[in-house]
Chain A
Amino acid sequence: MEILNALGDGFAIALTLENLLLAFIGCFLGTLMGALPGLGPANGVAILIPIAFSLGLGPTPSLILLTSVYYGAMYGGRISSILLNIPGDEPAMMTCIDGYPMARQGRAGEALTLSGIASFVGSLFATIGLVMLAPQLVKIALLFGPAEYFVLFTLAFATLGGISSTNQAKSAFAAALGLAIAMIGSDSQTGSERFTFGHIHLYDGIDFLVAIVGLFALSEVFIFLEHHRGGSAARGGTMTIGRLLPSWATIRSCIPTMTRGTGIGFIAGVLPGAGASLGSFLAYSMEKLAVDRDGKTFGKGDPRGVAAPESGNNAAAGGALVPMLALGVPGSGTTAVLLAVLLSLNITPGPLLFTRNPDIVWGLIAALFIANFMLLALNIPMVGLFTRVLLVPTRILMPVVAMISFVGIYGITSSTFDVMLMVGFGLLGWALRKLDVPMVPIILGILLGNEMEVNLRRALQISDGDWSILFGSPLAIVLWIIAITGFVLPIVMGRRLKKRIEANRPPEETAEGD
């Protein structure tokens, strides 16, 4: 009952004209960014953060705009998967396998509608799951002291490489690099200058927005330059959509599929280090195991093979918001970027968010429900509009993206130094991507570094310098066990899983992060 009341208040906030408009703009831009290969949810949100701030939007409106973009990108990714066999973003990879064959058979419209419905089901139930689960998790999180928080952060980094990681040393390196960058600037506890070498620009530390936009958005531009890939995504592809509505029998046959996909996806989203890509991968693989063991129809245009990954990745997107909002520890790339939104608005995420700023949490959740219905409307009747976007050549698109990133960063910092630093991060991101070093742990390290250190120092302050406090409670020990398992397990079985995911990946490169 309590939850329903809170949600009711949330709807009162979300249903203002300004917030509805922002949700609509977010959904539209998100679908657009999801549909365009090279612009994924993580870099899409990253580019828009500084712009939302320079426009002076408050915390709730900014969050509504940016999470609508996040949800929208999860819907939009499927469009180019189905029509062109190029995933619009990483989580949409699995949709290619059955979506493209359906399009080849002239059933593109049906595949788009069906995957739109599956996306809707996945997001809707995941958002309901978020409403149920997050407050429970908050109750547990309130038991956390500084030592437990420190271990929780360690857990987030240890599992962030995910069970599909090939090289855990590279994930760990990335996390440490992020933490190292976070240390630059005045120490929050004692005020000592650290790693500034007397440079006045470094006293406040490195703005994480500069790092995020550089690492995600600009490095993407460099990748496109490297390959001279300037044509439109749709070059030479068949783009006929055909009949939009699938038969009722097809939809009905997909209902159990969507249910399973939603369940699996949501769990994958909530678990640390999984995210939407893994959600859609698991949903597809499980569905294949469940209904098509011998591989008779899957991979040849089975509608269930389209519904499963789409409900899976959208449910995972909703699920990933649970740890981000309740614990302040994101489990995926885009939720890490959304955490950056909270931090730059001076809102501390985590359990206290629910008691201190219930208006933000519930307003956001209500907005997600509304955004879902908008997205359904945008993605089924108006899907033709978004397919046109695929005709825009990247030689025009990427420079525009780069310039908008510059506008945003310059808008909030007005500093040439920060803009140059962003270009530097872009180059660094390009080189690290070549070396297969993941970007997300770097971002998370920069975002959480100070918080992690503060908790460590508080814990040791309480214990008067005794390091055993980090293993001092059953809760902490459980968290350590999960962290260590999460780090070691991929070394044992990760290569196999990664290989299976890679085997399904179409040759085109897609934007990093989900």
Chain B
Amino acid sequence: MSDRIFGAVGLLLAAFYIWAASIIPDSFMIDVIGPRTFPYIVGAIVAICSLVFILRPDAEPAWPGMQAFAEILFAAAALMLYAWVLPEIGFVISTVFATAYLTWRLGSPPLGSVITGVLTSGGIYLVFHTILGLSLARGPFGF
């Protein structure tokens, strides 16, 4: 079933892609096949493969339960949030939180997670910024 759903999503994607290719504007420079032909071919391959998934699906993969699934979504959300606040509050503070969250979810006790977060953040700052001179996101406090 998963493969059939995947195939259906693939078909929608291919249809969208081919439509988006068809509205590519022409430019004043022209060549023989133009900017749309190759995307059409690629879209067609996506569509053909998706049809194969629908007609001949593989065995069902081992999907995680709701809990593990939520775990992944929350982690992704946390990392998105991390990316978003990075330029606002600076590298060191945001990294403490992001690392602490991940290591907590992977099974560290809360206090251990905070310590891991502080050490990781500080360690990366020391190695990459202080020693190697990489520019990291600067917050209002300059780090």
Contacts and interface: CB of A to CB of B under 8 A. Distances in A.
B134 A230 contact: no
A403 interface: yes
11 contacts: A187-B27, A189-B31, A190-B30, A225-B68, A226-B71, A400-B99, A403-B120, A406-B95, A407-B91, A414-B135, A460-B32
B58 A436 contact: yes
Contact of A457 (B33, B68, B86, B124): B33
Nearest to B87: A416
Interface in B129-143: 132-137
A12 interface: no
Given A55-B132, A434-B63, A436-B58, A176 B106 contact: no
Nearest to B61: A434
Interface string A43-63: 000000001001100000000
Interface in A442-487: 453, 456-457, 460-461, 464-465
Interface string A398-423: 11101110110011001010011011
Contact of A416 (B49, B83, B108, B116): B83
Contact of B42 (A180, A229, A406): A180
A180 B46 contact: yes
Contact of B46 (A173, A222, A426): A173
Which of A190, A195, A402, A461: most chain B CB closer than 10 A?
A190
B107 to A, nearest CB: 3
Contact of B134 (A54, A229, A419, A457): A54
A200 interface: no
B60 to A, nearest CB: 10
Nearest to B137: A410
Nearest to A175: B45
Interface in A376-395: 394-395
B8 to A, nearest CB: 13
A427 interface: yes
A399 B91 CA distance: 15
A55 B133 CA distance: 7
B102 A398 contact: yes
Given A180-B46, A225-B72, A169 B39 contact: no
Interface string A218-246: 10011011111111000000000000000
Given A395-B108, A465-B33, A192 B72 contact: no
B103 A423 contact: no
Given A173-B46, A436-B58, A423 B80 contact: yes
B103 A396 contact: yes
Contacts of A189: 29, 31, 35
Nearest to A180: B42
Contacts of A420: 80, 83-84
Contacts of A436: 58, 61
Nearest to A188: B35
Contact of A193 (B24, B48, B108, B137): B24
Contacts of B26: 190, 192
A19 B18 CA distance: 48
Nearest to A437: B6
B108 A423 contact: no
- A-B residue pairs, 8 tightest by C-beta: A230-B107, A395-B106, A230-B106, A419-B83, A173-B49, A399-B102, A169-B52, A176-B45
A222 B136 contact: no
Contact of B39 (A175, A183, A191, A221): A183
A172 B45 CA distance: 8
Given A403-B120, A407-B128, A416-B87, A221 B31 contact: no
A187 B72 contact: no
A492 interface: no
Contacts of B31: 189-190, 457, 461
A194 interface: yes
A36 B49 CA distance: 35
A139 B133 CA distance: 43
A72 B30 CA distance: 48
A465 B32 contact: yes
B76 interface: yes
Nearest to A417: B83
A172 B52 CA distance: 11
Given A190-B34, A457-B32, A225 B105 contact: yes
Contacts of B132: 55
Contacts of A227: 68
Interface string B53-96: 10010100111100011011001100110111011000100010
A179 B46 CA distance: 10
Interface in B2-41: 2-3, 6, 10, 17, 20-21, 24-27, 29-35, 38-39
A149 interface: no
Which of A221, A406, A414: most chain B CB closer than 10 A?
A406
